[in-house]
Structure 1
């Protein structure tokens, strides 16, 4: 059954990738990465150039998407597995309540892993999660074979196959090698294959909400050889290294395959960067494959599309890797909206510079679906910023002035505030502060925290952070100043029930 644009409510397609940097789009000016399908979505849609993940790791980022809440409210201010997800109001739940057929394919990263979170069905592949694989986990409440749909599918085609066959850890940001099986068996292809199958199986009498959630370009860096070939001989720019970054690697942390920091041997780093970019182009082509299938089913012009990532990948910036830290490579994400049927009146080709965050996805998609937005939601709908009437007009839509981000992570626990033009960072355990003028120093090469011309702005942002942290259970402030050394928590107490 084919839908037409006259259908009262549009389908909703949310595409998320895992660990993709904000700058890895051709249309954003990246000198190496090729993303033709995402470029086309942006060229005929709207790209938000200042989109952030306020708590940039997998679990808290997904909590923001599911609930539309800030990290202070959804309670996940760091990364911690096996904390139950008991949110009453969720994006898929509200869309299901509004009459949508809801489906997730790919990564959810909730607990218990099989929680539907409001979806009618989930075809699950969270990737390699250590807490589901390690037999010494106590208690062993979920066996890995019970919480993954990709591996049983793969083993039907390749008996005995496993996620560790390549010898790459799921957090190996500096080691890469090509995928060893036919491309159609890659997890990225599987996600699209299962999503296309949903188009066949869906209820034709309802609009659908499909969350197509990819694990890549999160490690392991294992692109199909054809995609790695695109970048093997390319002149890949070296990562930026700020004047504040560690210049020596005394402990030789950079030699570890799962390092978060350090000086990595140049050949290894270049290979990892090439593989990371190759995974993104592979994703892009598979997204194009799904969009083609959506068109063949007659649904493309009746579907509102949002594309983003849960967080970025530092990829050697400042000799840092992976995510969680407050720097642009980690916290700044791509964010594209597209409406082929022009239901929402988007200003096609607009690059919007307002500060958006993952919590804004839920109210935006509910508004597009004509569904009520629960009072629990703290994000804002983005459509006014993207519309042909209002989009691009400064002050036309009331919007947030800044974003508070954070991540609990031992000695690296940090809080930051930004308006997309300036950024103030406070490391809560050491008291170290940093300030970056992003308009003139987009790569965060110079820490201007002691520069006289910026002192007024630094004092302003410090006071903003004090206000954001007032009343927090960790005791980060007394309302007048920031207090270093207070014990950070990955999960706030109000959701530990």
Structure 2
């Protein structure tokens, strides 16, 4: 009897640090579904976002390539996808039906990047005259344009409970839409379902019931390293972040984290609906499941917020792989794998398990194969906020070109990165060795930071607070829908 071809469920969340799981030992957060998946599959603890910000991270995931190959390390929102085979392209060429549900974050927004169908939720980014499927759903339910009437910002850290009925929350809509897509599959062909939740990325608007479950308990506090205590001593890039997001008072910080955790637990519970649908349809044992995130969030650690940084809370991402029932010899149940891996490796891994050849353009490595990296390179932004990182599996070297500042952390001894070893005499050999490796990774505009093959960077500059009249991209009343306007043409922020 011929073994059924494997289905694939790839789940991503937005801005979820790797440590925010019970399986990772977090003392507060509830993630029973992810914990169960980790017990049934393999959890990769050294998984990193190649560029910890939405657009380029998703380009790595969808193309199986590093930023140098796909062409974005700065988050260019109106950059078209590169002319490279995508996950969906290759699955479809192998006979799969391919459906995406949730956030794609591509331009133009209705570019299907190889999927047969895209059921879209784009967080109210009405670019290109696009009204996405979630917005259309709200309109059909009598709430046209009301997605953001809660008043919370898309890149800020205030919070309040969700303002509409529970079934209208984007997390519920994405999970229900995914379950329906599975039930509507063509039973004669294997399926590839990409389910992309928009939370826990701000706005922080959890359901009241999920916030309440955290309100009754203490919450962990942010960590602040010795190196982060003196603002004047920080690299200009970090001073810029500190000035953009003022630190929250202790009680507000605690409630912000409760709201964030509530969004995570809500997703965790809704995942059960999707997995339950696979089970009831009789295809769970023939389905490969992979859960990951595009990047994390600092959530106040070291006085910092959001992403684009190389610290663990921003760059280290959850990565859980559950093979089909026939994959137990390749994806060990309950295993913890410490290989260095990233989003570019998802394509190679899924294709490996499904017996599909990865396209030649892929720079990824299968996470179920014998090959392993010695170094993982991460890069983000250019100019003032540029930051680069190399990781050897234990030590992490972070470099800020503006100011030519290095930080060195021993993640085995100091997983929360509280002690910078860059100036410690006993670690100079390690710093120099990793510095040479980092210099060899530089390309493009970064070559200006080299002299005779050595890193020199540029002098530090004085940093002033950036005006934020647009409130970090605050959304407004989105009905009637915005008229078409070319998103590549700058508009005044009033």
Query: Which residue of 2 is the match for residue 78 of structure 1?
Result: 74
Query: Which residue of 2 is the match for residue 209 of structure 1?
Result: 192
- Per-residue CA shift, 1:39-84, capped at 9, x if unaligned? 0000010000111001000001001011111111111111121011
Q: CA distance change for structure 1 residues 367 and 340 in 2, over 3 Å: closer, same or farther?
A: closer
**Structure 1 residue 277 and structure 2 residue 277: aligned?**
no
Query: Which residue of 2 is the match for residue 143 of structure 1?
Result: 129
Superposition map of 1:155-194 within 5 A: 155-172=139-156, 174-194=157-177
Within the candidate set 340, 345, 348, 1:360 is matched to 345
Q: What secondary structure sits across from 2:346 in the alignment? A: helix
Quick check: 443-452 or 365-374, which moved more?
Answer: 365-374
Within the candidate set 374, 377, 388, 1:401 is matched to 374
2-structure distance, mates of 1:347, 1:153: 40
Query: Which residue of 1 is the match for residue 410 of structure 2?
Result: 437
2-structure distance, mates of 1:258, 1:225: 30
Shift of 1:448: 1.2
Query: Which residue of 2 is the match for residue 349 of structure 1?
Result: 334
Query: Which residue of 2 is the match for residue 14 of structure 1?
Result: 10
1-structure distance, mates of 2:360, 2:287: 26
Query: Which residue of 1 is the match for residue 105 of structure 2?
Result: 109
Shift of 1:472: 5.6
Q: What secondary structure sits across from 2:193 in the alignment? A: strand
**RMSD across aligned C-alpha pairs, in angstroms?**
2.1
**Structure 1 residue 28 and structure 2 residue 24: aligned?**
yes
Tell me if the contact between 1:470 and 1:478 (Cα under 8 Å) persists in the aligned partners.
no
Q: CA distance change for structure 1 residues 446 and 294 in 2, over 3 Å: closer, same or farther?
A: same
Query: Which residue of 2 is the match for residue 312 of structure 1?
Result: 296
Q: What secondary structure sits across from 2:158 in the alignment? A: coil
Between the two proteins, the alignment pairs up a number of residues equal to 452
Tell me if the contact between 2:179 and 2:273 (Cα under 8 Å) persists in the aligned partners.
no
1-structure distance, mates of 2:443, 2:210: 48
Tell me if the contact between 1:260 and 1:321 (Cα under 8 Å) persists in the aligned partners.
no
Query: Which residue of 2 is the match for residue 475 of structure 1?
Result: 448
Report the TM-score when normalising by structure 1: 0.87
Shift of 1:479: 5.1
> Unaligned 5+ residue runs, structure 1?
134-141, 250-256, 385-396, 487-495
Shift of 1:268: 1.7
1-structure distance, mates of 2:198, 2:260: 13
Tell me if the contact between 1:169 and 1:258 (Cα under 8 Å) persists in the aligned partners.
no
Query: Which residue of 2 is the match for residue 90 of structure 1?
Result: 86
Query: Which residue of 1 is the match for residue 220 of structure 2?
Result: 237
Within the candidate set 422, 427, 430, 1:449 is matched to 422
- Per-residue CA shift, 1:404-439, capped at 9, x if unaligned? 111115422111101231111111122111111111
**Structure 1 residue 218 and structure 2 residue 201: aligned?**
yes
2-structure distance, mates of 1:415, 1:200: 44
- Per-residue CA shift, 1:353-407, capped at 9, x if unaligned? 11111000011111222211111001001113xxxxxxxxxxxx23110111111
Report the TM-score when normalising by structure 2: 0.88
- Per-residue CA shift, 1:443-468, capped at 9, x if unaligned? 11011111001000000010000111
Shift of 1:101: 0.2
Query: Which residue of 2 is the match for residue 393 of structure 1?
Result: none
Query: Which residue of 2 is the match for residue 52 of structure 1?
Result: 48
